[in-house]
Amino acid sequence: RKRDDVDVEALEKAVEDLDPKEVVTDFTDLPLSGPTKEGLKGAHFVTLTDIQAKAIPLALKGADILGAAKTGSGKTLAFLIPILENLYRDQCIGRDAGLGAMVIAPTRELAIQIFEVLKKVGGKGGHLHSAGLLIGGKPFQDEQNALAGMNIVICTPGRMLQHLSQTSSFNADSLKMLVLDEADRILDMGFQKDVDAIIDYLPRERQTLLFSATQTKRVADLARLSLQDPEYISVHEAA
């Protein structure tokens, strides 16, 4: 591998040794790459929120997760940090590496918000994965061209399905991580069929993180379809 050979190897060992039952409070307690540490520092993120403390160690170790936590609890970093780290340790960086991670959000606004956090922590920290938004704001062909080099894509269900079915130069065969953010809203908005169809295009062997503010029967059904032997994490409001 590249110049940071030793870095990556040491990180792999540290993640292997990480005990997800041990309580972490600060981001500096976690085995994270230099760029992620820099990005978190630059954005002034120091201590983990509850959902982050429970989800990140498990997700770094490759577990599938079904996470329930209300709005405002910090779910975005709970999945973006594992994406940045797991792709970094796998050296899923650059055009030839292909698409490594897909985040599906219910609305364009939410997808944009997630992308902004990714830029703030990942981009500013110095990660080299290329990332993009697929939300249908641009002409389809512009998106098609941009897609070819993306390692991380943040998308809405309809547009992603359209590309998977119509963009011949694009495939998700190398995908390592799928995130379904606000799964309850994705289902409320009628995207169940689109998400089912997207999942049919993805490799079976992948890591999937599903986050939802509420736990409904339909979320449980989607979880059964998309997750393998997941860890259940739920964070309750302080009374």
Q: Which residues bind ligand ADP (CB under 6 A)?
A: 45, 47-49, 52, 69, 71-77
Which CB atom, from 54 or from 75, has the smaller least distance to Mg ion? 75
Smallest separation, CB 63 to Mg ion (Å): 20
Q: Which among ligand ADP, Mg ion, none contacts residue 74 (Cβ within 5 to 8 A by kind)?
A: ligand ADP
Residue 174 burial (10 A CB sphere; 0-12, 13-18, 19+):
middle
Contact between 75 and Mg ion by CB under 5 A: the answer reads: yes
Which CB atom, from 22 or from 96, has the smaller least distance to ligand ADP? 22
What SS3 class is residue 29?
helix
Pairing of strands 101-104, 131-134: unpaired
From residue 67, alpha-carbon distances to 61, 198, 211, 234 in Å are 16, 21, 5, 6
* CA–CA gap between residue 15 and residue 150 (Å, rounded): 26
Which CB atom, from 71 or from 169, has the smaller least distance to ligand ADP? 71
Q: Which residues pair with 132 in a beta bridge?
A: 153
Which CB atom, from 75 or from 176, has the smaller least distance to Mg ion? 75
Smallest separation, CB 97 to ligand ADP (Å): 26
Residue with tokens 């339909």: 218
Q: Of the ranges 20-28, 69-77, 137-145, 171-179, which one interacts with Mg ion (CB under 5 A)?
A: 69-77
Residue with tokens 């998309």: 226
Q: Which among ligand ADP, Mg ion, none contacts residue 48 (Cβ within 5 to 8 A by kind)?
A: ligand ADP
Which CB atom, from 53 or from 178, has the smaller least distance to ligand ADP? 53
Smallest separation, CB 168 to ligand ADP (Å): 34
Name the helix (H) or strand (E) containing 28.
none
Contact between 103 and Mg ion by CB under 5 A: the answer reads: no
Contact between 176 and 198 (Cβ < 8 Å): no
Contacts of 51 (CB under 8 A, 6+ apart): 67, 69, 73, 74, 75, 78, 233, 235
Smallest separation, CB 219 to ligand ADP (Å): 15
Smallest separation, CB 189 to ligand ADP (Å): 17
The site for Mg ion (CB under 5 A) is made up of: 75
